[in-house]
Structure 1
Amino acid sequence: MYYAIAGGLPIEMSGAISSYYGNRFSSLRKREESVAMYNSILEHFALSTADYRVSGVSSDIAKAVRMIKRNINRQLTIQSICTEIGLSQYHFMRKFKIDIGMTVGAYIKKEKIAYAKFLLVYTNQSISEISEYLIFNSQSYFTSVFKKETGKTPFEYRKSDL
């Protein structure tokens, strides 16, 4: 867990992964099951940490991406990101689209849905709580965006991933 956090994985996500596996680990009886679970835990932390690493983009865009990921549950504005990384709005938006391949708004939405998918699978937070946590205007808007991105409602996604 320490190395995952040091590698950029948010503390909340690291804690949720630990909790998820901790609850399942206590019910294992055989050594082979424990070893398999341990390997799953390591793989999960490694993949999750890799998702939070930013490569192949300029350093200022990488800084912006990290800022977006670390503040996914806050209301970010283009201006606040630009102030933090020291670029004009025009230059930042143009450079972001070139480096990332989508607009800042589309990227933030994609990241919010990715984090919502994680929360649906690894926590018991209600759909309403997740919607509120990720600063969606309403639960119905969250549900429609989620369905558009994944093809399933949050409820269907949670149910199918159990």
Structure 2
Amino acid sequence: MNEETLEILKMNALQLLGIQLEGYDMNDLKGISDHIKTPFTNTSRKQFKRELKHFIVHMASNKIYHYTNIFDVNFLIFKFKKYKQVYIIGPYMEQRPNERRCNELLQLAGIKISKLYILKQYLLRIPLCHQVKAQKMCRLSIRFLKKRNIVYETEKVDLNFHSNTEMLAESKSQSDYTLREIEQRYNLENQLLTAVENGNVNEALEILNEMNLSVTGLRRVKDDVSNEQYKAFLINTLCRKAGEKAGISLLHIDEISEKYAALIDQTMDREILYEIIRDIVKEYSERVMKTKANAYSPKISKVIQYIERNLDSPLTLTELATYVDLAPSYLSRIFNQETQKSISQYIIELRVKKGRDLITRTKMTVSEIALYVGFKEQSYFTQCFKKQYGTTPLKYRTMHKEFY
């Protein structure tokens, strides 16, 4: 199976419809259950695991299964038996329920009305998508993944995960689910700040896409356009602070901020507002990159920008020298002259600095951060971090919490 094809399909599903497309090994019951569960699903029950496994094993390879859970959330599921893979499109809803409908859903599920906040938090992150569009995306995925131009029949399936109150997750699990959702949103927000502050344009835009999916139904005000304006103003403010910390001149920051504030205020179209949000992130990130580049000669600036864009990948002197068409020994010498550091030292310090920002701004674990910024081993990240900042990452987090 072509992994590149799957990545393109996932990107199209996200960008065109705002919904997820994920592939799982048939034996990955945890991954599949995590994808389709609700805050109230007791995934630890043996009956749940048996029922899910039975469904996966007995899925026909020539059908699309349409699963709608008790909260009107939809999933389209199909199997690629040859590669032992299960693909899930969703979650998505055709219509967001009002307060009255939320109460009805709780009553139907036998869940106490005190859990309304948890249900609303769950439903707010579910994107809206028409069934016909989701179906088309599913058939397109089958066509390109299986390389078969066949229209599969769609069969509705009821997995009965909420048939009675005994099947519900414990109250603490329900609350923990909601807390994790909120923490994830703030983690993404702070990862965006870090990407902008480091001038990583592509990374910042990727995080923005992920953020948009995670808050797709979240509302701070009642009107949809006003809600999108609220998000745009918030992103403008966050990027302004990140730009200031990165060293952009205050005149430039004020110019960018004022321009987008006026645009946001004048725009009454949700799609255009989202494009404005992308432009805000892009412009601030690019301005940071230019600010950093101005301190060095064109060749060294180009190398530094390449390093920042590919920080989480293995980087070699030969690769960097080829990128700017210089001999490795010559690049090493002039890089040291301009930055007062070797290339390897510069890369390590930049990775540690980015790790430090994530330590203070997110609740990512140290091992997650180490991998995210390009270290293969957590122990080496900790060693370099201690050398650069005089203490371990966890102690630094305790002393310098910025955003949570």
Same-fold call, TM cutoff 0.5: yes
TM superposition shift of 1:134: 2.5
In structure 2, distance between residues paired with 1:99 and 1:55:
12
Question: Does 2:351 match 1:112?
Answer: yes
| Structure number having the greater strand percentage | 2
Deviations 1:13-65 (A, max 9, x none): 5758xx7xxxxxx7xxxxxxxxxxx8675232333356642223210110000
Q: Please name the residue that 2:315 is paired with.
A: 76
**2:336 partner letter:** K
TM-score, normalised with respect to structure 1: 0.74
For the pair 1:121 / 2:319, whether they are aligned, the reply is no
Residue in structure 1 matching 2:328, options 89, 97, 100: 89
Contact 2:243–2:288 at 8 Å: present in 1 too?
no
1:161 matches 2:161: no
How far the C-alpha of 1:100 sits from its partner, in A, is 1.0
Q: CA separation in 1, counterparts of 2:335 and 2:296?
A: 9
Determine if contact 2:312/2:373 at 8 Å carries over to the other structure. yes
User: Using the alignment, how far apart are the partners of 2:298 and 2:342 within structure 1?
Assistant: 17
Q: Contact between 2:296 and 2:338, CA under 8 Å: does it hold in 1?
A: yes
**More helix, by proportion:** 1
Equivalent residue of 1:110, what SS?
Answer: helix
The CA distance in 2 between the partners of 1:138 and 1:40, in whole Å, is 32
Q: Which one-letter code corresponds to 1:10 in the other structure? A: V
- Counterpart of 2:388 in structure 1 is 149
Higher mean C-alpha deviation, range 74-83 or range 119-128: 119-128
Aligned length: 145
Q: Which amino acid aligns with 2:386?
A: K
**Which of residues 277, 300, 321 is equivalent to 1:61?**
300
Partner of 1:45: 243
Matched residue, 1:10 = 201
Residues 107/134 of structure 1: CA separation in 2 closer, same or farther (3 Å cut):
same
Identity %: 26
Mark the CA change 1:51 to 1:161 in structure 2 (over 3 Å): closer, same or farther.
Answer: farther
Gaps of 5+ in 1: 20-25, 27-37
Higher-RCO chain (CA-CA 8 Å, sequence separation at least 6): 1
- Give the counterpart letter for 2:338 in structure 1: D
2:379 maps to 140
In structure 2, C-alpha distance between the alignment counterparts of 1:151 and 1:61, rounded to whole Å: 29
User: 2:386, 2:392 within 8 Å by CA — same for their partners in 1?
Assistant: yes
Partners of 1:42 and 1:66 lie apart in 2 by 21
With normalisation by structure 2, the TM-score equals 0.32
- After superposition, the Cα gap between the structure-2 partners of 1:13 and 1:124, relative to the gap in structure 1 and judged at 3 Å, is farther
The verdict on how the C-alpha distance between 1:67 and 1:90 changes in structure 2, with shifts beyond 3 A counting, is same
Partners of 2:202 and 2:357 in 1: CA distance: 14
Q: Equivalent residue for 1:29?
A: none
Name which of structure 1's ranges 148-157 and 136-145 shifts more when overlaid on structure 2.
136-145
| RMSD value, Cα | 3.1
